[in-house]
Amino acid sequence: MKNSFLLLLFVSLISISAVLAQHRQHPPHMLELTDELKAELALTPEQVTAIESLQAKTKAAAEALRNNENLEREDRRSAMREIHQNTKTELGEILNEEQLSKLRDIRKAKQAEHRALRESVDRKALRQELKAYREANIQPVMEAQRAKLEAELSQADKTSLAEYRATLAEAKEQARTERQQMREQRKGERERPEAGERQGRRHGPHHARHQKRDLREQHPEIFGALEEMVSNYDADITRLLEEVADQAEQWDADKKAIMERHVPAELHERHQGRRQGRQPHPEHEARKELGRKIHFLLMEPQSETELGAEAEAMNIAAAAYPNPAVNATTLSFQLEKEAVIRIDLRDEQGALVKNITRATYTAGKNQVQIDLGDLNNGTYYLTLNSRTFQAPQSVKILVVK
């Protein structure tokens, strides 16, 4: 029990030792050195001071690197590897041989403990439950949103997107084949000790994790064209994604709950510990948002037959009158059954102007008076959102004064 407790606390040293080789692109996460940990390693006051100083220096160097927006990705990775290696070297100069031996033993024990936790996860069951949830809850909504975008695309862009989908699908299939071959190779190598197993752990997950980056490197012209297309339709894409923002929050919460049912709490705590205190990097967040919009743009649009069947299943007739309007309009909508609905007013870019109401409405015809007196002239959207809807509903209105 004591050793387990010490192992957890020792992440502060592990983070600045060789274990960081597994996460070289990330800045180290460090914990406070406790009195118990100092006693376990028999650290002298001078060693404690030196380690704390090293921790502070490493943290400052990593933070400065994260904030340096002038570096390319590979240059940033290389610089972070150098920080880790320098820290490891200095730590080796602070500790004596006996302490370094204890550090290695603790590292091995921690790795074995972590490996056992990971192997206890039923990955197949987790993937199946997440897949079933996405297909039942997320996919229908996002496909309906993507269908709305299709009406805004030019015919030339529709043709280009079809070509991009086919090319990227072929590349993904080839990557799957390569991963399967790699898994079979690792399976054989595990029968031979150490070298094969280390190689499998290093390269297999890395390939899967960075598949999207590999696709970008293989097809830079496609992703360049997609970025330009996102820019051209950014207002429409942003509005359509904002319409499902409330549902997306619920999806994230539901997926997290699924993960927690399958993954041991200790793995969650370790993951959260690494992320704690980190500030999102603006460049990273911008890339993430761009990737999200590219993914949305690449989605396969529904056919008119599918859209008609979905509209019939929802049976929600929403309209606003008068439209164009001056200072007020009446939103009317028809429901098959009682539902809790949130009604928002959004601008042409999809940004929320104001929440109109969130209330329970009965089956049949419903009407809501909308005050437009404080709005400037322009195009706006009234969005109706409910968990009972397959997709949010939008009513376009013009304000003319």
315-399 maps to CATH 2.60.40.2550: yes
Asked if pLDDT for residue 168 goes beyond 50, the answer is: yes
Give CA separation, 86 vs 17, 58, 62, 111, 341, in Å. Answer: 10, 9, 12, 22, 57
Q: Is 398 helix (H, G, I), strand (E, B) or coil?
A: strand
Cα separation, 188 vs 176, whole angstroms: 19
- Cis peptide preceding 322, ω within 30 of 0: yes
Give CA separation, 167 vs 75, 207, 303, in Å. Answer: 30, 19, 21
Cα separation, 286 vs 227, whole angstroms: 12
Token pair of 52 as six digits? 């704390």
Rounded mean pLDDT, 134-153: 86
Q: Is 395 helix (H, G, I), strand (E, B) or coil?
A: strand
Asked if pLDDT for residue 4 goes beyond 50, the answer is: no
Report the 10 Å Cβ neighbour count for 317.
12
Give CA separation, 205 vs 84, 198, 200, 267, 326, in Å. Answer: 21, 12, 8, 17, 58
Higher-pLDDT residue of 316 and 317 is 317
Asked if pLDDT for residue 5 goes beyond 80, the answer is: no
Rounded mean pLDDT, 138-151: 87
The CA-CA-CA angle for residues 21, 26, 28, to 5°, reads 80
Lowest mean pLDDT among 179-193, 299-313, 367-381: 299-313
Q: Where in the chain is the domain with CATH 2.60.40.2550?
A: 315-399
Element spanning 346, H or E: strand 339-347
Give CA separation, 274 vs 55, 261, 383, in Å. Answer: 15, 21, 38
φ, ψ (nearest 5 deg) of residue 122: -80, 85
Asked if pLDDT for residue 151 goes beyond 80, the answer is: yes
Asked if pLDDT for residue 19 goes beyond 50, the answer is: no
Position 394 scores a pLDDT of 86
Radius of gyration for the chain, computed over Cα atoms and rounded to the nearest angstrom: 27
Angle between helices 211-218 and 220-232 (to 10 degrees): 100
Rounded mean pLDDT, 203-219: 60
Asked if pLDDT for residue 133 goes beyond 60, the answer is: yes
Long-range contacts of residues 310-316, Cβ cutoff 8 Å, at least 24 apart: 310/140, 310/144, 310/390, 310/391, 313/390, 314/389, 314/390, 314/391, 314/393, 316/384, 316/389, 316/393
pLDDT band of 173, cuts 50, 70, 90: confident
Position 191 scores a pLDDT of 63
Angle between helices 155-189 and 282-298 (to 10 degrees): 110
Indicate if the alpha-carbon torsion angle 134, 139, 141, 145 is positive or negative: positive
Beta strands in 60-121 (DSSP E): none
β-sheet bridge partners, residue 384: 343, 393
331 alpha-carbon distance from chain centroid: 36
Most confidently predicted of 25-34, 258-267, 352-361: 352-361
Indicate if the alpha-carbon torsion angle 135, 137, 138, 142 is positive or negative: positive
Cα separation, 309 vs 314, whole angstroms: 9
Cα separation, 127 vs 132, whole angstroms: 9
Cα separation, 19 vs 26, whole angstroms: 12
Rounded mean pLDDT, 102-129: 84
- Cis peptide preceding 205, ω within 30 of 0: no
Cα separation, 349 vs 398, whole angstroms: 14
Token pair of 368 as six digits? 């809501």
Token pair of 76 as six digits? 């940033």
Position 186 scores a pLDDT of 79
Higher-pLDDT residue of 362 and 314 is 362
Cα separation, 225 vs 168, whole angstroms: 13
